[in-house]
Copies of this chain bind each other. A is one copy, B any other.
Amino acid sequence: MAVNYKTPTAASLLPVLGVMLGCAEAHIRKPNRKDMLLITLEPGSRAAGVFTQNRFCAAPVTLCRHYLEYTMETRALIINTGCANAGTGDEGMLNARATTKAVADALAIKVQQVLPFSTGVILEHLPMDRLLAGIPLCLANLREDGWFDAAHAIMTTDTVPKAISKQIQIQGKTVTITGISKGAGMIQPNMATMLGFIATDAAVGPDVLQDMVRNAADASFNSITIDGDTSTNDSFVLVATGKAGHPQINGEGTAEYGQLQLAVTDVAIQLAQAIVRDGEGATKFITIKVEGGKTYGECMKIAKAIGHSPLVKTAFFASDPNLGRILAAIGYAGVNDLDPALLKLYLGDVLVAENGGRAVSYEETDGVRVMKEAEILVRVELNRGRERATLWTCDFSYDYVKINADYRS
């Protein structure tokens, strides 16, 4: 189903020192599926996150932001699927808080040390009796090698679990980074949300952890789009337990920071790309690179105009090298002083447009050859500066309409 995606095996996912994971079948919405996940972190662990900019953000998102302001130490993450606890008003906030309180009591920690996450149907209240009953079940299942089950527990309409591990050496110590994610549309039908969790046993100072998660998010989850819709619950959290044994990383300028940032970003990119590969109805994985711009912002604007255009996305589905649609999207991206005569457009290795029109050397058969691949590179060279941006997206198929039109019918 997912485009060119290698499903992870249990053995490929490495435990992270100081992290335990426990799942449960709590029957939040459907029976016989893991739908709760508890992640516990040893004392001294820190978390930092980036969250949806949607004004209709879910209660757990609001609570996460709030708790992260008030505590230096995070000890647990509690996640449920089946119900997003979004568009639930005051009762939603009380339910999210009650969930974290129950976890805190069970672990004898403070409520602010527990971060809550929900994904699933919007505008419905959490079934608190079943959710609270699920917490001791998760606790009973806690294990260090629980990542594979965890990746399954957070799936909603995903067709494949999304998880990856990586190890690097920092000052002679092995540092492990393992992450999981979920999501198959920026918003699923009602099954809202992209979630991403990455844990590392690296020791990272509190000031730099937030920078690290922000940098990783910009290069990964903020650089993908499926349908342009932004969920109410999107959350991406990085936790660091500090158990790997190397001296704490405190400055952004250090070599160790650079090493760890690179590895965390790489894991985040692979988790984000997995979401695109598993995008609703996706048959193609498309990389859009916009280069030679004055700013990163204008490059990303153009990449998103291409990546969001339904006309471009249906052309990819049809393997149709429809240059006019791509050029038109570049033209309306909102870069007001853009000179179309300066830019070059490539499909894969084929120059298709320059000087404001079709390249003289371009043959349609070359365009068709590129468009028939399952992975397609669209590259725009603006020739007006030195900045660049990359966006990953998928095509727009009959199945996208089918999945989204039939979901509640």
The residues of A with any CB-CB pair to B shorter than 8 Å are 52-57, 84, 86-89, 92, 121-123, 185, 187, 189-190, 192, 227-232, 308-311, 314-315, 317-318, 320, 322-325, 327-333, 335-336, 338-341, 353, 355-358, 396-398, 400-402, 404-409
B340:A55 contact, CB within 8 angstroms = yes
B54:A331 contact, CB within 8 angstroms = yes
A335 contacts across to B, CB distance below 8 A: 55
Q: How far is the CB of A99 from chain B (nearest CB, A)?
A: 18
Query: Looking at the complex, which one of B54, B231, B308, B324 makes contact with A228 (CB distance below 8 Å)?
Result: B308
Given A309-B228, A357-B92, do A55 and B336 touch, yes or no (CB 8 Å)?
yes
Q: Considering the chains assembled together, what is the distance between the CA atoms of A320 and B408 in angstroms?
A: 7
Query: Looking at the complex, which one of B123, B314, B405 makes contact with A327 (CB distance below 8 Å)?
Result: B123
Q: How far is the CB of A295 from chain B (nearest CB, A)?
A: 16
A325 contacts across to B, CB distance below 8 A: 187, 189-190, 229
Given A54-B331, A88-B357, A228-B309, do A314 and B123 touch, yes or no (CB 8 Å)?
no
B328:A56 contact, CB within 8 angstroms = yes
B314:A405 contact, CB within 8 angstroms = yes
A332:B229 contact, CB within 8 angstroms = yes
A121 contacts across to B, CB distance below 8 A: 324
Q: Considering the chains assembled together, what is the distance between the CA atoms of A56 and B228 in angstroms?
A: 23
A406 contacts across to B, CB distance below 8 A: 318
A-B contact pairs, 29 of them (CB 8 A): A54-B331, A55-B332, A84-B324, A87-B323, A87-B324, A87-B327, A87-B353, A87-B358, A88-B356, A89-B341, A122-B324, A122-B327, A123-B357, A185-B311, A190-B324, A192-B328, A227-B310, A228-B308, A228-B309, A231-B328, A310-B404, A314-B400, A317-B401, A317-B405, A318-B405, A318-B407, A318-B409, A320-B409, A398-B398
Q: How far is the CB of A98 from chain B (nearest CB, A)?
A: 17
Given A89-B355, A408-B320, A408-B322, do A328 and B230 touch, yes or no (CB 8 Å)?
yes
Given A358-B123, A407-B320, do A332 and B54 touch, yes or no (CB 8 Å)?
yes
